[in-house]
A and B are shown apart, each in its own frame.
Chain A
Amino acid sequence: MSFNRYILIYRESDAGVDKNENLFDAFMKELGEKDPSNSVQVVDAVMNGKADPDSTLVKIIPDNIYFKCKDPVDAIKIVDDFIIKNNPVKKLEAAANNIQYRIVLRNCGVIDPENINEYIAREGYSALEKVLFDMTPDEVIAEIKKSGLRGRGGAGFPTGNKWAFTQQAVGDVKYVVCNADEGDPGAYMDRSTLEGDPNSIIEAMAIAGYAVGASKGYIYIRAEYPLAIKRLEIAISQATEMGLMGKNIMGSDFSFEIEIRYGAGAFVCGEETALLASLQGERGMPKPRPPFPAVKGLWGKPTVINNVETLANIPVIIIKGSDWFNRIGTEKSKGTKVFAVTGKVKNSGLVEVPMGTTLRDIIFTVSGGIGNNRKFKAVQTGGPSGGVIPEKFLDTPIDYENLVALGSMMGSGGMIVMDEDDCMVDVNKFYLQFSVDESCGKCAPCRLGGRQLLTYLQDIAKGNGDLKDIDKMKRIGNAMQKASLCGLGQTTSNPIQSALKYFYDEYEEHIVHKKCRAGKCLELLTYTINPEKCSRCGICKRVCPASAISGDRESGFAIDNAVCIKCGECYNRCKFDAIDRG
């Protein structure tokens, strides 16, 4: 017995295997009659995206054709016409869900990151070879400029221009720095890229060095990424051994070496001037710009600083050309963007899509939407520097400008999805606490403003807020945006400003009605037992960890709110919905 064809019946990742039982049986029955040699296997498979509510996706391999099946009759048709007679069944055919397009992650999950030969077999170091022997530094910069590549670290500055400024700057020594200090909560694109394809970053740094006239590069990486560091070290030593790094690369006149420096985990060190200070062994604090690092950077020398994801694009642009890259994306934002989709989505993961893809496609089509029968509420892009985007803007095509217009930002690519169980005040409090903790304290707007905003939020969450506070918060936020020294302070208030814009009613509820609809702000919650629904089973009393519930099966039960710790255990365990949360 051997199979030469397979029918994959897809279900959503949280659906049970028995969901497609009818279809499965229909296929088996029909195949049993029409395929006596037993050459087709029917198997259950899992999709990452969201299923169509009234049909099931079926894939035939090796033909690689998808069908949509509504009922068992469709299964019979597919077996009879497609499998047995090899006729197309156009009516049932479905488009493949391949909106992902992997440039940055081209080698992640494909090659062995600890074996440089596998990278070379997939055009690795070919871009470096091309620039060293067939292109002048000016041509390299022109090519990157023409590609329209913009910095993927968040602000979106054109990479080609950055390189050109560094090249034109006067200096005997110049440096290339890779910013691998990925610190946003929920973002891990750069870690995965470094762990999966370290050689691409090294190659890109050498290309940058050749273009700007630098022979030394530094990778500033978080010490919390031990595996990424290990794989980078292996890649650097293998490349150096083969003459692809170090002195006279591939026999040319160009030499380039790379050193790895560890960051100690300060968020502000992702800001380029603070990063350079930390790299020099000083305390990681930002400096006013100008002078920009391109003119006066590491040890006062012209320095080009690029983020991991930006660099990962470089070798492909050189090999395939700027025209190819230029065709992907939107008018002002070219290429792709990697997002780390986390939070309340069914299938969290790394997603790389062309710029201009909608948030809805990323959250629902690729990541499967929200689980547990909850509704989508908002998505936070750009981590603590970004803002929340509500449902009505989910169809906005993603690019740098559109996200800023919505009050958020591209950021490095963390995308945290929230559902109805998340409270906006609580989420804002979390991000603000993060920004306050990570503020370096150098400039007053960030140091004092952040603390003030946090105090207001804490009051609101406790029910001590005042509607006048909202106005004050907006003013403090605006002042921080204008007067802070670096991006951290300038963007600290973004989550609050956007939440006030899109979820003002929730703030109002907390302040005026002292209510938290998501049940997250504990001090606004009270639990009471509704005697009419209560069946006096007593489970609430048994599960209460604080012994806050008194009574017995004769007289009924009551919660003492002075003792209650608002854990919600009774609420979750009651089978009769007899516990009210308000």
Chain B
Amino acid sequence: MSKLNREQFRSLREKLKAVNEQQTEIIVGLGSCGIAAGAARTFDAFQKEIKAKSLTGVVLRRTGCMGLCASEPTVEIKVPGMADIIYGWVTPEVARDIVQKHVMRQILVSNCIQDKTFKDILKEGE
């Protein structure tokens, strides 16, 4: 990519801000705390399950630590039209369960839903 000047930076930013609301996102916390708890295996399990079920419109993403160290590996699921849900203790088995129930049929997976106790200051203002 070539070096951006101010105008190019601004137009890139506006382009990137227009997020695709129609896609399902699976976001795995891959900080060193998550990886130590097995998040890399969880990530692989999601990847395989998405492929096995031939799901389209589902994006698997990586992020840093969500701060819920006691319940790593942590995963956030965003399905269009549904509230965002954070799951804790997501082993590969739970990952498959999440894909089959939450992602494919909008059924929440019991026992590992976490409480999200903070707002996004950039989106929700003050």
Complex Cα spacing A74 to B18, Å? 43
Complex Cα spacing A86 to B1, Å? 53
Q: A121 is contacted by which of B19, B29, B106, B113 (Cβ under 8 Å)? A: B19
- Determine if B48 is an interface residue (Cβ-Cβ < 8 Å): no
Complex Cα spacing A10 to B82, Å? 19
Flag if A103 contacts B4 (CB, 8 Å): no
Flag if B117 contacts A98 (CB, 8 Å): yes
Q: How far is the CB of A391 from chain B (nearest CB, A)?
A: 22
Complex Cα spacing A3 to B107, Å? 7
Interface residue count for A (Cβ, 8 Å)? 75
Q: B114 is contacted by which of A48, A120, A324 (Cβ under 8 Å)? A: A48
Complex Cα spacing A132 to B9, Å? 13
Q: B9 is contacted by which of A100, A125, A346 (Cβ under 8 Å)? A: A125
Complex Cα spacing A328 to B33, Å? 29
Q: Which residue of A lies closest to B35 (CB)?
A: A227
- Determine if B65 is an interface residue (Cβ-Cβ < 8 Å): yes
Q: Which residue of B lies closest to A328 (CB)?
A: B126
- Determine if A464 is an interface residue (Cβ-Cβ < 8 Å): no
- Determine if A347 is an interface residue (Cβ-Cβ < 8 Å): yes
- Among B1-51, those with CB < 8 Å from A are 1-6, 9-10, 12-13, 16-17, 19, 27, 29, 31-33, 35
Q: B67 is contacted by which of A49, A109, A227, A228 (Cβ under 8 Å)? A: A109
Q: Give every chain A residue within 8 A of B63 (Cβ-Cβ).
A: 108-113, 196
Q: Give every chain A residue within 8 A of B113 (Cβ-Cβ).
A: 8, 43-46
With A105-B67, A109-B67 in contact, is A48–B118 under 8 Å at CB? no
Q: How far is the CB of A107 from chain B (nearest CB, A)?
A: 8
- Determine if B70 is an interface residue (Cβ-Cβ < 8 Å): yes
Q: Give every chain B residue within 8 A of A170 (Cβ-Cβ).
A: none
Flag if B117 contacts A252 (CB, 8 Å): no
Q: Give every chain A residue within 8 A of B119 (Cβ-Cβ).
A: 98, 101-102
Q: Give every chain A residue within 8 A of B121 (Cβ-Cβ).
A: 101-103, 106, 316
Q: How far is the CB of A16 from chain B (nearest CB, A)?
A: 11
- Determine if A396 is an interface residue (Cβ-Cβ < 8 Å): no
Most buried by B among A8, A191, A195, A248: A195
Q: A62 is contacted by which of B1, B17, B66, B83 (Cβ under 8 Å)? A: B83
> Residue-by-residue, is B112-126 near A (CB-CB < 8 Å gives 1, otherwise 0)?
111101111110001
Select the stretch in A140-148, A348-356, A374-382, A481-489 that faces chain B: A348-356
Flag if A61 contacts B111 (CB, 8 Å): no
Q: A196 is contacted by which of B16, B65, B105 (Cβ under 8 Å)? A: B65
Complex Cα spacing A347 to B9, Å? 41
Q: How far is the CB of B23 from chain A (nearest CB, A)?
A: 14
- Determine if B68 is an interface residue (Cβ-Cβ < 8 Å): yes
Complex Cα spacing A10 to B113, Å? 9
Q: B106 is contacted by which of A2, A120, A252 (Cβ under 8 Å)? A: A2
- Determine if B92 is an interface residue (Cβ-Cβ < 8 Å): no
Q: How far is the CB of B62 from chain A (nearest CB, A)?
A: 5
With A125-B9, A346-B70 in contact, is A97–B115 under 8 Å at CB? yes
- Determine if B56 is an interface residue (Cβ-Cβ < 8 Å): no
Flag if A244 contacts B9 (CB, 8 Å): yes
Flag if B5 contacts A250 (CB, 8 Å): yes
Complex Cα spacing A192 to B32, Å? 8
Q: List 6 A-B contacts (CB under 8 A).
A: A48-B68, A97-B115, A108-B66, A192-B65, A196-B31, A347-B68
5 further A-B pairs in the complex, CB-CB below 8 A; given A44-B111, A120-B16, A121-B13: A3-B106, A49-B117, A107-B64, A192-B31, A243-B4
Smallest CB-CB A-B distances: 9 pairs: A196-B64, A243-B3, A109-B66, A251-B5, A350-B67, A45-B113, A121-B16, A347-B70, A100-B118
